[in-house]
Structure 1
Amino acid sequence: IITHKVKGGLSVDIGIPAFLPGSQIDLQRVTDFDQYVGQSITASILKVNQKRSNVIISRRKYLNDQRSEDRKQILDTLAADQIIQGIVKNITNYGVFIDIGGVDGLLHITDMTWGRISHPSEVVKIGDNVTIKVLSFDKDNEKISLGLKQLNPNPWEQVSDKIKIGQQVKGRISSITDYGLFVEVAKNVEGLVHISEISWTDRIANLANRYKVGDEIDVLIVSLDAENRRMSLSIKQLGKNPWEMVDKEFKVEQKIKGKISNITDFGVFVQLLPGIDGLVHISDLSWTEHIEHPSDRYKIDDKVEAVVLAIDKENKKISLGIKQLTPDPWEKVEELYPVGTTFEGEISKITNFGAFVKLPIGIEGLIHNTTLLEEQGKKADALFKIGEKAKFTVININKEDRKLALSTKLTTKAPTVKEETKTTVEKKQKKPPKTTSTKSSKKEKTVEQSKAKNSLQIALESALQKKEDKN
């Protein structure tokens, strides 16, 4: 009997006082010695010192010896397919270690249930008494594999008799992941609804915002592999695919009206039909303006008009354009503002390489700092302010790259846009003069000389008349 606690261990009455070191109390390390005071124990004698009347005992050695005997007995009688009892000793992420009488066996997480679990602690707790089946036993290496689910029939063996591909069934959501929903359609039989099979049209970022574990939902059986315990399910296929009607509802170059349903960095989405949106890319918002973010110009629920640019039914994409509602001003820039044209423009942007100037038709031209330094001796930031108006001359046009080079040197006689256009047209329509005969030329020359002679005579007569009046 353990009588009291002493330094470094316990004092035990075995007829004479004996010392039980703290390291020898149990198989595991013990920190609270007081819990053993007053208990009767069985222990092995480690050392006896008759001169000092000192006896050292060990409960740990006794338990180890007893365990070894039990272990030997278990190993001699253990065999595969046996159903035995055990105590849950330790729980890990991958399974449970079970004490089956001095020997530990592993119950792997995949052998705990026919259904799906995230952690073994969902099924058992440390100290639980469990009934398990021996799946395999390696006596030489003393490795024992145990199974819990194998105590019950495999539900997947009967599932093909109850569930058919194309069948609509009710199920309970058992787990939610980033890639889909696991739905239990029969006891311990689960299928996966991949995130791509949730909706034909909705973009779902987080399934947990829409569904909860335990929710009952309707699903369609898409595929079934009972041998590998796999089943694919679908929610969206319970209804019709609205994209199949898109090419009948809309045509390329068709004008449409709709509400903005979403705004991103790269464009705006416009709702065409319930669940079907078209994208206006940021580059298709305006021919002339530099839009840094679509939200600078549009808001969700704004009504807009656009043109259908492309329909990709297979990939469920519709491209729209807003700028295509009006003609591209760059198409007529050479006609309206040919090289040499002087115009009044507004400074729209100043950069470290020059200034952008907005023309009356909305497009922008650039006057580079190298040009300004050569002509004015200063850079753009020293000469201009945004919103300021000044006159500039077009010095180069690159229609393909949509670039217009400008200068501050004005032409001697700056043509207006209309005058220049008229002159250009006249040049195109101008024809070479017709050749005349020699006889005709002589006749014209005679007429001109006659006109010149008459004028001279009139001048002389006028002079003589003035002289006579003075006399």
Structure 2
Amino acid sequence: MTSTTTYAPSREDFAALLDESYGENEALEGAVIKGIVVAIEKDVAVIDVGLKTEGRVALKEFQGPGREGAPKVGDEVEVYLERIENALGEAVISRDKARREESWVRLEKAFEKQEKVEGVIFNQVKGGFTVDLDGAVAFLPRSQVDIRPIRDVAPLMHVTQPFQILKMDRRRGNIVVSRRTVLEESRAEQRHEIVANLEEGQVIDGVVKNITDYGAFVDLGGIDGLLHVTDIAWRRVNHPSEVLAIGQTVKVKIIKINHETHRISLGMKQLLDDPWQGIEAKYPVNARIHGRVTNITDYGAFVELEPGIEGLIHVSEMSWTKKNVHPGKIVATSQEVDVQVLEVDPVKRRISLGLKQTLTNPWEDFAAKHPIGSEVEGEVKNKTEFGLFVGLEGDVDGMVHLSDLDWNKPGEQAIEEYKKGDIVKAKVLDVDQEKERISLGIKQLASDPFAAAPADESGPDYKKGAIVTCEVIEVKEGGIDVKIAGTDFVAFIKRAELARDRADQRPDRFAVGEKVDARITQFDRRARKVAVSIKALEVAEEKEAIAQFGSADSGAVLGDILGAALKARDSEGKKSAKKKTDEE
């Protein structure tokens, strides 16, 4: 007979078993576990997760884009166990957190492998949008939504689409994704395939997609090509919108393909005949042509000679007389003008035109009407440090150099007598048609007093020591200006040369128009200088009188001697005058 021993656990043993059971269950908190849906109560699913009590999960946690939908009784689901038991004695579980944990593991693997992930844009936040990556919430910056900025994002909301993970930080729970990267990659693949099927020189139809100041972008069926403004037509096109419109279908020629950057250059004018062929024969040098001004710049004006052919009138070739003037003040856009061909360069596709060449050259006209030596009249237009500019007939200017203003005065002094607006007469000295210069002289209207003087300086009126009669023309503080009678010589007699006696060396004792005798003390033809002195005349007469009538030591009185000398001079003058009258 076999005996059986029955073990009855004690209170302590039961407590230990209970603690062990609770310890195992506590280890499940914060983990994803499996459970069975045992009931559906309104909007809540009751799930048995193998614990003492069931847990409850809202049905909305099972719903939404990319989710499995509401569960049924008996379905096995994975949930996140937050706590084994709450105040109501129920297990606290979550389907959202379970999905989030699953997603993080899956997303980290995709991020490491640089794989795309599926997500749904479900909300807009500051600076971008939030994306549901099957439970994990990511941030989509606004700059990463599309290749180009888009105004309306509504069509992209709540739609499952691919994203690229740019950054992940599980500790902070941050994920940053990009939709733009996916589009660029897809577009690059598409562009590569399209470009591979295109060839330079190929003619293809396209649709104008966008217009800018420098050209138009044409959609060639998935890839854009640039149609530069200079390749739209042979003629000048100021803006592409003059010829093209968005949505317009155009036939273009592929000029160049860059297979590395996938850039395609297009042309429309290349489908037409080149009007520059045989241009030299069509527009020979010196030919005169009628054209239309199409564009005006700071350096000249462009003239259309025919569709596709333009020439440039440089600002220097626009007017004979208007210098440093903006071309817009000479011609206007759309104005019809006659021009002359100056140069043709078929290689650089340039034609140089002249406008002034079709007009009369005013310098040639002036030279024909006013030969050298003729007298002209004009208005002083400007005073400079080197002379006067005088406006002349034909809208040309002549220049009077400082040295040609006055025979007797320095140019710097003579120019002060003129002011802008004065009407002056001058003599034509030279006309240089090539340099467009006219030289004038004002002093040449009068004879050169030094040229009229005897070359050997032997004339009685000009040699050093000769006695001359002068007319006072101006009284100054330091002396007087006088003009030698019968000549154009002007001299200045300083105060010290006005008399032998200091008491008589006063300029104010002379009056304008008064005649005085003086002695020439200097006549320098090269320096063009004449100097006279009253004092020198008095001293010379005194010496002559003393020599003739004796000195004061011999008893003669100086006054008597001078009186005799003056009387003798007057007598000699009367005889000379009588002789001259008899000869006449």
Deviation of the 1:164 alpha carbon: 6.0
1:280 maps onto 2:280 in alignment: no
Corresponding residue number in structure 2 for 1:430 = none
Corresponding residue number in structure 2 for 1:174 = 294
Q: Secondary structure at the match of 1:156?
A: coil
Corresponding residue number in structure 1 for 2:112 = none
C-alpha distance in 2, partners of 1:225/1:153?
A: 19
C-alpha distance in 2, partners of 1:294/1:225?
A: 50
C-alpha distance in 2, partners of 1:293/1:100?
A: 79
TM-score by length of 2: 0.52
1:150 maps onto 2:276 in alignment: no
Compared CA separation, residues 362 and 91, structure 1 to 2 (3 A): same
TM-score by length of 1: 0.62
Corresponding residue number in structure 1 for 2:329 = 209
1:21 maps onto 2:147 in alignment: no
Q: Quick one: percent identity of the two aligned structures?
A: 32
C-alpha distance in 2, partners of 1:264/1:307?
A: 18
Deviation of the 1:133 alpha carbon: 2.8
Corresponding residue number in structure 2 for 1:71 = 191
How many aligned positions are there? 393
Deviation of the 1:192 alpha carbon: 2.5
1:61 maps onto 2:181 in alignment: yes
C-alpha distance in 2, partners of 1:364/1:284?
A: 19
Where do residues 89-100 of structure 1 align in structure 2 (5 Å cutoff)?
none
Q: Indicate which of 516, 522, 527 corresponds to 1:401.
A: 527
C-alpha distance in 2, partners of 1:177/1:356?
A: 62
Q: Secondary structure at the match of 2:187?
A: helix
Corresponding residue number in structure 1 for 2:379 = 260
Q: Tell me, yes or no, if the aligned pair for 1:366 and 1:404 is still in contact at 8 Å.
A: no
Deviation of the 1:109 alpha carbon: 5.6
Deviation of the 1:183 alpha carbon: 0.8
Compared CA separation, residues 325 and 62, structure 1 to 2 (3 A): same
What letter is aligned with 2:310?
E
- Root-mean-square deviation over aligned CA pairs: 5.3
Q: Indicate which of 528, 539, 543 corresponds to 1:413.
A: 539
Is 208-217 or 244-253 further displaced after alignment? 244-253
Corresponding residue number in structure 2 for 1:9 = 128
Deviation of the 1:257 alpha carbon: 3.6
Q: Indicate which of 156, 172, 188 corresponds to 1:39.
A: 156
Residues 271-297 of structure 1: per-residue CA shift (max 9 Å, x gap)? 24x355544334323223445696952
Q: Tell me, yes or no, if the aligned pair for 2:406 and 2:414 is still in contact at 8 Å.
A: no
What letter is aligned with 1:67?
R
C-alpha distance in 2, partners of 1:388/1:39?
A: 108
C-alpha distance in 2, partners of 1:25/1:183?
A: 49
C-alpha distance in 2, partners of 1:75/1:193?
A: 43
Deviation of the 1:184 alpha carbon: 0.7
What letter is aligned with 1:297?
Y
Q: Tell me, yes or no, if the aligned pair for 2:340 and 2:354 is still in contact at 8 Å.
A: yes
What letter is aligned with 2:193?
Q
What letter is aligned with 1:39?
L
Deviation of the 1:341 alpha carbon: 8.0
C-alpha distance in 1, partners of 2:282/2:173?
A: 78
Compared CA separation, residues 402 and 89, structure 1 to 2 (3 A): same
Where do residues 97-116 of structure 1 align in structure 2 (5 Å cutoff)?
110-116=230-236
Compared CA separation, residues 53 and 82, structure 1 to 2 (3 A): same
Bigger-Rg structure (1/2)? 2
Compared CA separation, residues 196 and 414, structure 1 to 2 (3 A): farther
Q: Secondary structure at the match of 1:133?
A: strand
Deviation of the 1:414 alpha carbon: 6.7
Residues 360-379 of structure 1: per-residue CA shift (max 9 Å, x gap)? 35646698xxxxxxxx9xxx
Q: Indicate which of 307, 312, 316 corresponds to 1:192.
A: 312
Where do residues 366-405 of structure 1 align in structure 2 (5 Å cutoff)?
398-403=524-529
Q: Tell me, yes or no, if the aligned pair for 1:3 and 1:38 is still in contact at 8 Å.
A: no
Q: Which runs of 5+ in 2 are unaligned?
A: 1-119, 495-501, 542-568, 573-584
Q: Tell me, yes or no, if the aligned pair for 1:191 and 1:232 is still in contact at 8 Å.
A: yes
Q: Tell me, yes or no, if the aligned pair for 2:190 and 2:222 is still in contact at 8 Å.
A: yes
Q: Tell me, yes or no, if the aligned pair for 1:252 and 1:310 is still in contact at 8 Å.
A: yes
Q: Which runs of 5+ in 1 are unaligned?
A: 350-354, 368-375, 377-382, 416-422, 427-471
Deviation of the 1:173 alpha carbon: 0.6
C-alpha distance in 1, partners of 2:406/2:247?
A: 71
C-alpha distance in 2, partners of 1:96/1:232?
A: 30
Deviation of the 1:346 alpha carbon: 5.3
1:269 maps onto 2:390 in alignment: yes
Corresponding residue number in structure 2 for 1:297 = 418
Residues 371-416 of structure 1: per-residue CA shift (max 9 Å, x gap)? xxxxx9xxxxxx999x999x9997655432345689998665277x
Q: Secondary structure at the match of 1:43?
A: strand
Compared CA separation, residues 36 and 252, structure 1 to 2 (3 A): same
Where do residues 292-331 of structure 1 align in structure 2 (5 Å cutoff)?
297=418, 300=421, 302=423, 304-331=424-451
Deviation of the 1:80 alpha carbon: 0.4
What letter is aligned with 2:301?
L
Q: Tell me, yes or no, if the aligned pair for 1:173 and 1:215 is still in contact at 8 Å.
A: yes
Residues 308-343 of structure 1: per-residue CA shift (max 9 Å, x gap)? 222334444332222111122455787548479898
Deviation of the 1:229 alpha carbon: 2.6
C-alpha distance in 2, partners of 1:49/1:253?
A: 99
Compared CA separation, residues 414 and 337, structure 1 to 2 (3 A): farther
Q: Tell me, yes or no, if the aligned pair for 1:11 and 1:17 is still in contact at 8 Å.
A: no
C-alpha distance in 2, partners of 1:71/1:295?
A: 79
C-alpha distance in 1, partners of 2:168/2:324?
A: 76
Q: Tell me, yes or no, if the aligned pair for 1:87 and 1:130 is still in contact at 8 Å.
A: no
